[in-house]
Amino acid sequence: MIEIKNLHKSYPMGKDSLHVLKGLDLHIKEGEFVSIMGSSGSGKSTLLNIVGLLDEHDEGEYFLNGQKIEKLDEKKAAVLRNKFLGFVFQSFNLISYKNALENVALPLYYRGTSRKERLKTAMEYLDKVGLKDWAKHLPSELSGGQKQRVAIARALVSRPKVVLADEPTGALDSTTSDSVMDLLKEINREGMTVFVITHEEEIAEQTDRIVRLKDGVIISDEKVNKNVKA
């Protein structure tokens, strides 16, 4: 699903450049539940941005769903993001003046789905995350956990190949964190590839595979919870 070979990325910093990713190799198969662990500055967000087609890599190869990613213009990137990727952000990133249902429906708008179809599908996914009754509420009227559920529904609505979650529980207390993680697990059980970035050990432990990143290199890549997976 995601195949990365010898990936390099550096950012210009004045005269010098900051070498963030130093040759990563990573292969994530369909249906995996992977977490990237690392402290801040380890390059995990950069990796997510590249995987999420929000940023470009300098060197190496990246295959998304078998398609080689190179020389993407913004338009192509937008289409691929919409088609293959669902994003869940730490700060939810819901659009404040749209209600939960409209927020969930937004990716389908950019796909060109008709309004009726869009709202119907969005409602299905809201129901899936248990927020059917909150469809008409604005984000400001929802709790943090509810907002993240809406965001997850939004990530799923376009039926992507991979869900990318950047610190999905970073802004939540432990109880709601657990419920969000339960939701992600459930999605994974249904066959979705889920890619979580976190710096919290407890969160990482709930996934099937933990990739540890330090100073731009992978220091360990271990499978856990094999019994759950099986």
Partner 1 sequence: MKTIFDKDTWQEIYGVLRKNVMRTIITMIGVFWGIFLLITLLGLAKGVENKFNKEIGDLATNSVFVFGQATGMPFGGFQEGRPMQLKLSDAEVIKEQIEGIEFVVPRNQNQGAVVRKFLEGNYSVTGDYPLLDEVQKKKLIYGRFINDNDINLSRKIVVISQDVYEDLFEIDEFPIGEFIAINKINYKVVGVFKRANTPGPREDIHVPFTTFQKVYNQGNNIGWMMITGKPEFDISQIEADVKLLLKNLHDVHPEDSRAFGSINLGEMFKQVTEFLTGMQFLTIFVGLSTLIAGIFAIGNILLITVKERTKEIGIRRALGAKPWEIKTQIIMESVTLSLLAGIIGIIAGGAVLYLMNMMFSGPDSAIINPSVNITTVLAALFTLVFLGTLIGLIPASRAVKIRPIEALRDE
Residues 1-60 that bind partner 1 (CB under 8 A): 49, 52, 54-55
Query: Which range, of 26-34, 85-93, 127-135, 142-150, touches partner 1 by CB under 8 A?
Result: 85-93
Kindly state whether residue 91 participates in binding partner 1, applying the rule CB under 8 A: yes
Residue 111 lies near partner 1 (rule: CB under 8 A): yes
CA angle 4/9/11 to nearest 5° reads 160
Which residue's CB is nearer to partner 1, number 75 or number 226? 75
Angle between helices 174-189 and 144-157 (to 10 degrees): 20
The beta-strand segments (E) located in the chain are: 2-13, 16-28, 33-37, 59-64, 67-68, 85-88, 162-166, 193-198, 209-214, 217-223
106 binds partner 1 (CB under 8 A): yes
Nearer to partner 1, 86 or 145 (CB): 86
Q: Per rule CB under 8 A, is residue 98 in the interface with partner 1?
A: yes
CB of 98 to partner 1, least distance (A): 6
Report how far residue 16's alpha carbon sits from residue 24's, in angstroms, rounded to the nearest whole number: 22
Contact positions vs partner 1 (CB under 8 A): 49, 52, 54-55, 74-75, 78-79, 81-83, 87, 89, 91, 93-98, 102, 106-107, 109-111, 115, 154, 158
